[in-house]
Structure 1
């Protein structure tokens, strides 16, 4: 089963060629047909951190999407691992509610998704129910294999070409299940180019019909390369430098991983297994730089596809009624905190991913620095645009599309300034310098808050670990997370930060508030995921961190029980994550 464990990041695809770079920005032939429901195009890449989402690296994506839409600075993955993140997109649910938490059994993967009965109760199913034609090409979910792709079919698509294991991450030997049929292996074909060709064919079909359409385009770039022949014969993970077609071999020859403050520091930092990592040697750093160059080259085919898809949409004259989304399933870290390539942690490199939206009525070239959203909110936005609803309670809120204050359809949640990333399984490292693929004691909850206090913008990252350790970073002052404001207290005890005399009063007061938000969010459902202050203050007195910092609430927040783990154990074990929010604890005047 470990052969099926692949780290994912949904991906954009490209079919080779220039991809319309610098072309096709006109209106095309004019609207082909009137439609009351908008078309939705989703590009979702695999393991793309925000550091690789730049104009220099992806010029077509910036020219065709960012310059004509809104770039969201604060967008986060619910779990820094592909399969759980993708399930949150398909189900519009936080990971602790859908409980697909890993990439294979017993805690995750396509078989587990089926065991829970989620098939036929997913985003594309709900879109089809309100009249959409739906299509999908590329990476869908881990542990969707050549052995189970027929007996465990995907639901909700008019047509689909799904990459299947163990060939999913083999750039030159991909295998697709076409419309839930047996796997078709393509020896010697570059995966992203194939995803591009297939996507453009499905887009032709979608454009020829009278119904609104949804198409998901998910290449594997820039995910690590995994040789399918080794995955077939070994239980060990072989994850190495991403690969690229020859036309991109000349690019980024001198690129190196940015030498930020947290890159291979002289002193160890972090908590749990991270604080035990040795300093990277020169050979390891050179390898990480080459790995980085491979990631950048693998993204060029993705960038080309964005241009090709935009060319086709504009030529068809449907952009006046089409929303285009670009995102990734999780981020990726290289060398930060002395790490090998990988994800699965709650740091910014791992959980912060690109989100760009272009659509009718949206401003051009705008950057949203105010809101904070996650994958469930993206899924909820698709549902709201389509007028669709799931057949269960979802956990998302519609993303502010900045359509204008007078537009009732654009429900702006200016108070939505938080995201929670969760993790319950082993940490995973990648690359040839990794001695063991897995790291234990990697269970944590990370709260990300972007708000305002005393009239000044604040950004905090607060994490509670199963080891009893806590992390608190002021990301305005410390964007690379090298100064844990609670570091000196982790050896004292799990609650030391709340009552230690040497902790500044303002920091303790902030900590009580952040822990209270975590307490609500870690078991939230529905509206409490969107507005956790509503659970804490059911009478509506508080809805922002600035309001919560009022001293009159000090006693209330200090008295709330504190989030902690009984001990470390694999899988989502709610009985070990204490306490569970009780409405009886809500504020009473």
Structure 2
């Protein structure tokens, strides 16, 4: 029987918080491939989710605001996604969780390719309505919705104990604010410290002009948000554990590929910034784990992106990822199985086409070009992992050329530029 595929996509989770999720760490990260250098295609919820579903960078899908669903549908992107291709290949499919912001404008919409559809109508989580296979229901709070979606996912898995392969997505709203962990975990991280080296960076002279005079963030507020995120992630961890239990009990765990990522990271006062969208590791970097049949546990430094999920999933199903149109991402399947990443991409693009910056990661360096202002930053993350000092006395003309090429390319041409 063909392998199943499960994507788990958290919301606003920093890469550094993965280790706090004990079940996820033990049962996914330590039993699969843990990528230390996983990145969002664009560190903003809606555009990132559009990139995950289509394997297109934002400069190719054109959905660069956080109200993503309307332009995504208007451009016809929903008609060619990982779901539509897997469904056409004979997989049963199910979506359980947050989809895209703007879905409330079409309350009864069910995205093509999904047999089961449990989607939060308002991705900003202040609307308790849920679309259940085209019917609008009220579930309650963010925490209640995440539990409801996980329960429906477990039911979906149990129903496929003895049937053909399936492809499913579990996308909890956590750890997106407002922070409402369950009573069981509400005090797990009370008083946790928050003092990263880049918090309220004192010397901002190496940063672009718009950021240099930002006031410091309220350290107590940042710490409280960090506490809330960690506590909500314990609830996510519990639900992941329950899903893994069902997979094991139904005999499906050994033939299921599990991808764990977030839509973007989060800044909590680093470089005096709050939120996401910016080209720094805390925001652009995401947790990234893959567990699957025949995959030897290891931690690797390969540069991987959200756009790689769709081609890898299609490859698992025996499909040509580029059939019909070129994908911007590349299949990880062969190196995941072999452990040999020597032929993998050497450089990786991250971008924000709304704020007009593009970042190029190559080896230990991170180059950021702010196109509108003509400013740039260059960091060596080996010696400066917290990006405290841009390498100003550097000729960046070649960096700029390569970044511009990647940010203007698509499909096979883009992937060739990564090598």
Instruction: Give the alignment's TM-score, normalised by structure 2.
Output: 0.94
Aligned partners of 1:515, 1:224: CA distance in 2, in Å? 36
* Structure 2 counterparts to residues 115-194 of structure 1, below 5 A: 115-145=74-104, 147-150=105-108, 152-165=109-122, 168-170=124-126, 174-186=128-140, 190-194=144-148
Aligned partners of 1:413, 1:384: CA distance in 2, in Å? 19
Given the alignment of the two structures, is residue 101 of structure 1 paired with residue 32 of structure 2, yes or no? no
CA drift at 1:121: 1.4
SS at match of 2:78: coil
Aligned partners of 1:399, 1:188: CA distance in 2, in Å? 33
Aligned partners of 2:216, 2:101: CA distance in 1, in Å? 32
* Structure 2 counterparts to residues 117-516 of structure 1, below 5 A: 117-145=76-104, 147-150=105-108, 152-165=109-122, 168-170=124-126, 174-186=128-140, 190-208=144-162, 210-225=163-178, 242-257=179-194, 259-269=195-205, 270-280=207-217, 284-340=218-274, 342-364=275-297, 366-369=298-301, 371-388=302-319, 389=321, 390-399=323-332, 402=335, 405=338, 414-425=343-354, 442-450=355-363, 458-486=364-392, 503=393, 507-508=394-395, 511-516=396-401
SS at match of 1:518: helix
8 Å Cα contact 1:136/1:215 also seen in 2: yes
SS at match of 1:215: strand
Aligned partners of 2:142, 2:111: CA distance in 1, in Å? 26
Aligned partners of 1:317, 1:187: CA distance in 2, in Å? 33
Change (3 A) 1:78 1:188: closer
8 Å Cα contact 1:399/1:412 also seen in 2: no
CA drift at 1:519: 2.1
Say what the alpha-carbon RMSD is for the aligned residues. Answer: 2.0
Aligned partners of 2:73, 2:30: CA distance in 1, in Å? 40
| Structure 2 equivalent of residue 32 of structure 1 | none
Aligned partners of 1:212, 1:395: CA distance in 2, in Å? 26
8 Å Cα contact 2:8/2:169 also seen in 1: yes
8 Å Cα contact 1:154/1:180 also seen in 2: no
| Structure 2 equivalent of residue 518 of structure 1 | 403
* Structure 2 counterparts to residues 523-542 of structure 1, below 5 A: 523-532=408-417
Change (3 A) 1:158 1:473: same
SS at match of 1:190: helix
Higher strand share: 2
8 Å Cα contact 2:357/2:368 also seen in 1: no
8 Å Cα contact 2:6/2:259 also seen in 1: yes
CA drift at 1:411: 8.7
Q: Alpha-carbon deviations, 1:102-126, whole Å to 9, x = none? A: 122xxxx211111101222111000
Aligned partners of 2:12, 2:55: CA distance in 1, in Å? 20
Structure 2: any 5+ residue segments left out of the alignment? none
8 Å Cα contact 2:44/2:277 also seen in 1: yes
Aligned partners of 1:403, 1:102: CA distance in 2, in Å? 33
8 Å Cα contact 2:366/2:380 also seen in 1: yes
Q: Which has the higher contact order (CA 8 A, sep 6+)?
A: 2
Higher alpha-carbon Rg: 1
What is the total number of aligned residue pairs between the two structures? 416
Structure 1: any 5+ residue segments left out of the alignment? 1-34, 226-241, 426-441, 451-457, 487-502, 534-542, 544-589
CA drift at 1:325: 1.1
